Chain A
Amino acid sequence: MRGGCGALPYPPRVGKGVALFRYIIRRLLALIPTLLGVTVVVFLLMRLIPGDPAVAMLGEHATEENVARIREQLGLNRPMFLDAEALRQGDLKRFVDSQYIRFLGRLLRGDLGDSIHYRRPITTDIAQRFPATVELALAAMLIAVAVGIPAGIASAARRNSLLDAVSMVGSLAGVSMPIFWLGLMEIMLFAVYLKWLPIGGRLDSALHLRTITGLYLVDSLLTGNLSAFWDVLKRLILPAAALATGPMAIIARMTRSSMLEVLQQDYVRTARAKGLAERTVLFRHALRNALLPVVTIVGLQTGTLLAGAVLTETIFAWPGIGSWIYSGIVGRDYPVVQGGTLLIALCFVLLNLIVDVSYAFLDPRIHYE
């Protein structure tokens, strides 16, 4: 992964900026087949799971007639990909009139369809929920990076010390701790007993906030609504802290091992021999080189967090994309799962691209072609 796809450790034939631009365009074009592949796989997988969306929608009361009608309305009576029977009859229109082609047709028009369960456009739900997920993911990643990287550096600098042991045991615990347990413990302590922080939700229902970006912290600042800002911040702390635990531990461990590797390099020994202060050696010479794998991990972890944190969202009543997709899977809400998965795939691909591009800034030796 280091260096990214297409990253070359030798000088480019064209200017660095142009090469980078071409590289980004190429990667963006590669998005199209990737996302198409995702739609095919998700389409297939969802329909391989037993259970009928019409039955899921109608529940225990479902009658044969209603199930049949809903299936027809949703187009579920059409073949999944292509209608072979129609081809045999020479009916080309019916041949391509399949669930997947209908979905693609709508997708090209920017329409992800309507939720079967909530009967709302998928784009509306994504527009409401995705910013909530982004806000939570970024807050969690901020905590994870702010704690994880210094902990990793300190552990590496004081290898085999008490600090190292505490930091690594802590990170092991962070990776192993079930998030639902941690979340409930946080709520018990900080919300029920100490009453310092609220239990969940994004904003007190008594407060009102004009949304601009959908990121409530940003919106409250942009609109100068400080009471909302304070409320949003308080509500963000517990879920972000719970969600940060896993990535924080991974980042700390990765930073430590990467730093240890770099600290054994000749140039670090030389820097120390030249009498540079340990702080300068660590932060100016070692850290920048040690950060490459950490950046990769941060990128991947951010992608995972953006994919939605089902448990955190469920426990902290956070109306994000994870619990929404999970409900979609359980309720066989095909459009929700398709739209949500497509969005997540897009996030992952874009984040990977950002990570790859960031290498060029961290390591001047890396060039793109």
Chain B
Amino acid sequence: MRGKRFLFVSLVMVALSSLLAACGPKPAEGPVKGGTFIFGRGGDSVQLDPAIVTDGESFRVTGQCLEPLYQYEPGTTKPIPALATECTPNANATEWTCKLRQNVKFHDGTPFNADAVIFNFERWRFTNHPYHFASQVFEYYEAMWGGFDDDSIITKVEKIDDYTIKFYLNAPLAPFLANLAMDMFAISSPEAIKKCGEKYGTPECGCVGTGPFIFKEWVPDDHITVVANDNYWGGRPYVDQIVWKVIKDDSARFLALKAGEIHALEQATAEDVAAAEKDPNLYIMARPALNTAYLAFNYKIKEFQDKRVREAVAHAINRKAIVENFYGKYGEVATNFLPPMVWGHNPDIQDWTYDPELSKKLLAEAGFPNGLSEVTIAEDLKDQEGNVVYHAGDKIPLRLYYMPVTRFYYPNPKGIAEAMAADLNKAGIRVTLELAGDWPTYLGLRRTGLLVGLYMLGWGGDNGDPDNFHGYFFGGLSSPDDVIQPRAREGWYANQEVAKLCYQALVNPNMAEREKMYKQIEQILHDDVARIWIAHNNTPLIFSKKVHGYQPQPVGADYYEWVYLTP
């Protein structure tokens, strides 16, 4: 299937190259076979069992060796068949029948069939499954399929015949195919899992799937090597091997690319990207943005409970200048939580203008004619152990917490925070920049709602479905009549109307109706100034001009089988 899609993929890539500032060289001859493609990266994989990890560096590798039933169309987030040739729902979308690809073998020679798929799904779902080890966290199964055991939305996976299975769901799940296509639901060889047990996915055992590349070796913190699968059902990849080499230092990684020791890299500094743009031996492609950087309010601050204050903050920040200065041509100003490439993005939203005078006016209306530099804790705030850290009525300086690490959605958190603080100051909102600690500390404080002020964070989508953005943060209902308070995932913000819409969209198989609902959610969030969306970042990847055919994916593993090298 992958092989047959080659022409289509090529066309998509040509179109994308113009859209995404891709400028890969175009060799006169066709694809060249052979060679080792070396990709430099800033960190090692955690594990090569995709079901139990959440880090992108693991999926970067497992995505080449293992395949899910569905995958994402190259360059987009649209689910298309992979190990399943088709999945069709019943009338109310509570049963999905999937036809499986035939004559496919795992790398260990065992057959891919209905039993293998059922083994994988049951292993992920049942906590008493002999290969669902207590030491492992099947976090994504729980997150995407509602929970384990009886909480799972998938109540049964039935074998109809060797190459047909049927999923039974306890409620319709609109993003069913988008979920199936996620890297973490790639199918592993049951025999390999049985053989390795808890060590499946470790450097000793690696991973065994049906993908275009076969795991060869993993030297921790050094490199992982996979070799081409000669018997790949979609056709043998062009390169003989892929090596992912760990070079933690960004500058050293770029120098390794310049020296020709690696062929490509991701996570480059702004200076290195600028240098690469001028280097005749290098070129840049951008990964389509499926992320949003935002500034969150802590709603346990009394002043932020007044929408006029939130609006004042929104109008005070010059997001266009921030994008120009910190993201360059790879960034775009965010007007929605959903990036433009995700359906459900609402282009009709009237974005907040940069208008410090309007901010001052709004602040004055809210009772702060002299600006804002101090805020009030609205109710007691407790730490993880239950100790009260802030008491109701406490006055604290207005803080802007910035992230201690660079993330793909915030390429320079401190610089951006300083720019925001300067903008806010012009509107009379005098913030104190605060570094709460290192990354685990920052996330821990965020989780307990103790980032008491404005704070920076972002979100990268997992499957391209709008529910993965809206549902995670603003959902939380289990039925339309559910009166339970919706999840307050970020800064204690919860909105019953949005939660209800999230639920309705989640269970509605009609795509057009869902799209309308997500647009409505965006409008409500905007009108409520729930958070301030700052930017979407098309993260740059730098390549040697010897590399051709690379396809950066907005979500899911990049496609390497069409990569080839020229001398």
Contact = CB atoms under 8 A, between A and B. Distances in A.
Interface stretch (B111-119, B245-253, B422-430): B245-253
Most B CB contacts (10 A, CB to CB) among A51, A187, A192, A317 go to A317
B472 to A, nearest CB: 8
B137 A70 contact: yes
A51 B441 contact: yes
Interface of B: 36, 38, 46-47, 52, 54-55, 134-137, 139, 142-143, 202-203, 219-223, 225, 243, 245-249, 251-252, 255-256, 258-259, 261, 384, 437-441, 443-445, 447, 457-459, 472
Contact of A55 (B135, B255, B440): B440
Contacts of A319: 219-222, 246
Which of A60, A183, A319 has most chain B Cβ within 10 Å?
Answer: A60
Contacts of A51: 437-441, 443-444
A135 interface: no
B252 A330 contact: no
A50 B443 CA distance: 10
A52 B46 contact: no
Q: Which of B220, B222, B459 has its CB near the most chain A CB atoms (within 10 A)? A: B222
27 contacts: A50-B437, A50-B440, A50-B444, A50-B445, A51-B437, A51-B443, A51-B444, A52-B384, A59-B55, A60-B457, A61-B54, A65-B142, A66-B142, A73-B134, A73-B135, A117-B46, A119-B52, A120-B202, A184-B252, A191-B259, A191-B261, A192-B255, A192-B259, A201-B223, A319-B246, A324-B221, A330-B440
Contacts of A57: 137
Contact of B139 (A61, A129, A314): A61
A96 B58 CA distance: 38
B220 A187 contact: no
A187 B447 CA distance: 42
B164 to A, nearest CB: 33
Interface string A111-122: 000100111100
Contacts of A314: 248-249, 252
A205 B384 contact: no
B471 to A, nearest CB: 13
A195 B260 CA distance: 10
A60 B294 CA distance: 13
B135 A119 contact: yes
A188 interface: yes
Interface in A327-351: 330-332
Nearest to A192: B259
Majority secondary structure of chain B interface residues (helix, strand, loop or mixed)? mixed
A128 B222 CA distance: 11
A331 B438 CA distance: 9
Contacts of B137: 57-58, 66, 69-70
B136 A119 contact: yes
A183 B252 contact: yes
Nearest to A121: B202
Contacts of B38: 205
Contact of B243 (A73, A118, A129, A205): A205
A273 interface: no
A45 to B, nearest CB: 14
A231 interface: no
A360 interface: no
B185 to A, nearest CB: 16
B444 A55 contact: yes
Which 5 A-B pairs give the minimum distances between C-beta atoms?
A51-B440, A56-B440, A319-B221, A51-B441, A50-B441
Interface in A63-85: 63-67, 69-70, 73
Contacts of B459: 60
A280 B458 CA distance: 71
Nearest to B462: A61
Contacts of A49: 441
Contacts of B440: 50-53, 55-56, 330-332
Given A120-B203, A184-B251, A59 B54 contact: yes
Given A73-B134, A316-B252, 19 more contacts: A50-B441, A52-B440, A52-B444, A60-B458, A60-B459, A62-B443, A119-B52, A119-B135, A119-B202, A120-B202, A191-B261, A199-B252, A200-B247, A201-B223, A205-B245, A315-B249, A317-B247, A330-B438, A330-B440
| Best-surrounded residue of B36, B135, B243, B438 (most CB of chain A within 10 A) | B438
Contacts of A315: 249, 251-252
Nearest to B443: A55
Interface in A121-146: 125, 128-129
A152 interface: no
Contacts of A98: none
Interface string A34-56: 00000000000000011111011
Contacts of B143: 61, 63
B166 to A, nearest CB: 29
A57 B439 CA distance: 11
Interface in A290-342: 314-317, 319, 323-324, 330-332
A119 B384 contact: no
Nearest to B489: A63
A201 B440 CA distance: 29
A121 to B, nearest CB: 10
Contacts of B55: 59
Nearest to B201: A119
Contact of A187 (B142, B202, B252): B252
Contacts of A64: 447
Contacts of B54: 58-59, 61
B255 A188 contact: yes
A198 interface: yes
Nearest to A184: B251
B221 A129 contact: yes
A60 B440 CA distance: 10
A57 to B, nearest CB: 8
A209 B143 CA distance: 42
Given A317-B247, A319-B222, A199 B255 contact: yes
A235 to B, nearest CB: 11
A199 B439 CA distance: 29
B443 A60 contact: yes
Contacts of B457: 60
Nearest to A56: B440
A50 B450 CA distance: 12
B139 A58 contact: yes
A202 interface: yes
A206 B255 contact: no
B447 A62 contact: yes
Interface string A179-192: 01001100110011
A188 B272 CA distance: 14
B215 to A, nearest CB: 14
Contacts of A330: 438-440
B15 to A, nearest CB: 32
Contacts of B135: 73, 114, 119
A200 B252 contact: yes
A201 to B, nearest CB: 6
A183 B253 CA distance: 13
B225 A184 contact: no
Nearest to B147: A65
B437 A199 contact: no
A129 B136 CA distance: 24
A119 B46 contact: yes
A183 B134 CA distance: 43
B143 to A, nearest CB: 7
